[in-house]
Amino acid sequence: MAKRSAPEVNAGSMADIAFLLLIFFLVTTTIPKDSGINRKLPPIEENDEDVIIKQKNIFTVLINGKDQLLVEDELMELEDLRAAAIEFLDNGGDGSCDYCNGKKDAASSDNPDKAIISLKNERETSYKTYISVQNELVAAYNELRNRRALLIGARKGFPDMDFVKMEKNFKDAKFVGNKDKLKEVIDQIRNEYPEKLSEVYTK
Amino acid sequence: MSKFKNKKDDALPAVNTASLPDIVFMLLFFFMVVTVMREDTLLIENKLPLADQVEKLEKKYPISYIYAGKPTKAFEDRYGKEARLQLNDKFAEISEIESFINSERLSIREELRDFLTVSLKVDSEANMGIVSDIKQELREVNALKINYATGSGSALDN
C-alpha cells in the first residue's frame, strides 16, 4: 500500500487569529506611569520635647479651605511661591553660608540648614492645590540644588549635569562614570540644601 | 507535454502574504510582554493632579496602592458623593488601613519589608481631610515612605 502523507493543516486563518489577539492586547495595554512626589512621613515620637526655632527661620505656608495661599501671613499667588521660597532658603542671614546668593537679610532665615518650611492646610483644602504647593516647594529646593550642582559638578568632573540629572544617573545602572564620586557630590549638595519641610497634621 | 510552459501571464502577481502571520505574531508577543493588567478595579473617580517635579517609583521595591476619591456614578446612591477610600477592590474605612498595610507587609519578602512604599492615588477633587487621615493612619502603622501619585504636567494648571 502506498504511504499516504498526512494532510496539511490549512494555516490561512492563522493571521486572522493572531490579529484578533493582537487587537485585544493593543486595547487592554496601559503603559503604567508610576511617578509622583516622594515624601517621608515623620515617625510618631513619644517625647514631645519642644525644639525652639527662631521665628525668622520658619517659612509658613498655609492653604485655607478656599484654596488660598497664605505665605508668612500674606496672601500670595501660587506662581510666586517658588520664588519666595527660594529667596527665603537662599537668604543666608548669619553669613555662615558662603554659597548662598541671597540678600543676607537679617530678618529672614539664617542659613539653608536652619531654614524650615512649615506647610499647613485645612481639611477643606483641595488635594490638587496641596499637590501644587508641594510641587512648587520641591521645585524651589530642586532649583537651588541644580544651581549648586552645575557649579560643583563642573569642578568635580561632572559638567553640565544638574542635581536632578545627577540623581537619575546615580540610579541608572548603565551610567558610565565614577559613581562613588557622584554620590559624594550628591550628598554634599543635599547637606548644603537639606530639604526641611514640616507638615502640620490637621485633626 | 512540454516541460517548459510558455508563461505569458499579464496579470500583476499577488503580493506574498506568507510572512504576514509572523509579523503579526511578533507584534502580538511584544504587546503581550509589555501589557500590565490593571490590578484593582476602580470604584472611585481617580483623576490624578498634575506636577512636574516628579520622581519615578522604583518597581524593584514593593509598592502598595491606596486610592481615594468620589465614588463613581454607579455607587453614588449607596456611598454618597463624599470622597471615600478604596483598598484593593472595595470601599474601606480609614481604620482598615492598619490591617491592609499589615497584610501587605506579610505578602512581601522579609528583607524588603522596610522598603514598602505606599502610593497614594488620590483624586484631584478630593479634599485634604481624607488625605490627612490616611497619612496619620500610615504614621501609626509605621509605613512612612509615601508617594503622591501625580500625572505629569504643570502644577499651575491644576
The answer as to whether B114 is a domain residue is yes
The answer as to whether B70 is a domain residue is yes
Q: How many residue pairs from chains A and B have C-beta atoms closer than 8 A?
A: 159
User: Mean pLDDT, to the nearest integer, of A6-27?
Assistant: 82
Residue of A nearest to B142 (CA): A43
Long-range contacts of A99-108 (CB under 8 A, 24+ apart): A99/A148, A99/A151, A99/A192, A101/A147, A107/A56, A108/A56
CA-CA distances (angstroms) from residue A195 to A111, A117, A125, A140, A143? 13, 9, 23, 10, 12
Strand-pair partners of B151? B50
- In one-letter notation, the amino acid at residue A65 is G
**Mean pLDDT, chain A, integer:** 84
Rounded percentage of chain A residues whose pLDDT exceeds 70: 94
Residue of B nearest to A43 (CA): B139
The answer as to whether A160 is a domain residue is yes
What is the spatial distance between Cα A178 and Cα A169, in angstroms, rounded to a whole number?
11
The answer as to whether A145 is a domain residue is yes
Which pLDDT value is given to residue A57? 87
Domain count for chain A: 1
The answer as to whether B12 is a domain residue is no
**Mean pLDDT, chain B, integer:** 84
Mean pLDDT check: name the lowest of A149-153, B17-21, B103-107. Answer: B17-21
pLDDT tops 70 at residue B5: no
Residues of B in Cβ contact (< 8 Å) with A122: 128
- Per the CB < 8 Å rule, is A131 touching B158? yes
Closest CA–CA distance from residue A36 to any residue of chain B (Å): 4
- Per the CB < 8 Å rule, is B150 touching A124? no
Of residues A68 and B18, the one with the higher pLDDT is A68
From the number of C-beta atoms within 10 Å of its C-beta (0-12, 13-18, 19+), residue A21 rates as middle
The answer as to whether A19 is a domain residue is no
Contact A96, A155 (CB under 8 A): no
Q: Domain range spanning residue B141? A: 50-157
Which CATH number do you get for residue B59?
A: 3.30.420.270
The answer as to whether A24 is a domain residue is no
**What is the band of B83 on the pLDDT scale with cuts at 50, 70, 90?**
confident
Q: Of the candidates B25, B59, B150, which has its C-beta nearest A131's C-beta? A: B150
pLDDT tops 70 at residue B20: yes
Residues of A in Cβ contact (< 8 Å) with B55: 35-38
Which pLDDT value is given to residue B99? 92
Interhelix angle A163-171/A127-156, rounded to 10 degrees, is: 80
pLDDT tops 60 at residue B104: yes
Candidates A8, A14, A26, A37: best to mutate against B (most CBs of B within 10 A) is A37
The answer as to whether A23 is a domain residue is no
pLDDT tops 60 at residue B118: yes
Q: Domain range spanning residue A82? A: 55-199
Candidates B17, B22, B28, B133: best to mutate against A (most CBs of A within 10 A) is B28
The answer as to whether A71 is a domain residue is yes
Which pLDDT value is given to residue A196? 85
Beta pairing class for B84-87 and A74-76:
unpaired
Residue of A nearest to B145 (CA): A40
Q: Of the candidates B28, B127, B131, which has its C-beta nearest A25's C-beta? A: B28
Closest CA–CA distance from residue B153 to any residue of chain A (Å): 11
Domain count for chain B: 1
Residues of B in Cβ contact (< 8 Å) with A163: none
- Per the CB < 8 Å rule, is A135 touching B51? yes
pLDDT tops 70 at residue A203: no
What is the spatial distance between Cα B149 and Cα B158, in angstroms, rounded to a whole number?
14
- Per the CB < 8 Å rule, is B150 touching A11? no
- Per the CB < 8 Å rule, is B126 touching A127? yes
The answer as to whether B97 is a domain residue is yes
What is the spatial distance between Cα A142 and Cα A42, in angstroms, rounded to a whole number?
21
What is the spatial distance between Cα A165 and Cα B17, in angstroms, rounded to a whole number?
47
pLDDT tops 70 at residue B48: yes
- Per the CB < 8 Å rule, is A124 touching B129? yes
What is the spatial distance between Cα A68 and Cα A120, in angstroms, rounded to a whole number?
12
pLDDT tops 60 at residue B114: yes
Q: Identify the residue whose cell numbers are 486595547.
A: A27
**What is the band of B2 on the pLDDT scale with cuts at 50, 70, 90?**
low
Q: Of the candidates B50, B53, B149, which has its C-beta nearest A138's C-beta? A: B53
Candidates B27, B36, B55: best to mutate against A (most CBs of A within 10 A) is B55
What ipTM was assigned to the predicted interfaces of this complex? 0.76
Candidates B66, B120, B121, B127: best to mutate against A (most CBs of A within 10 A) is B127
pLDDT tops 60 at residue B128: yes
Closest CA–CA distance from residue B43 to any residue of chain A (Å): 18
pLDDT tops 60 at residue A1: no
Of residues B7 and B101, the one with the higher pLDDT is B101
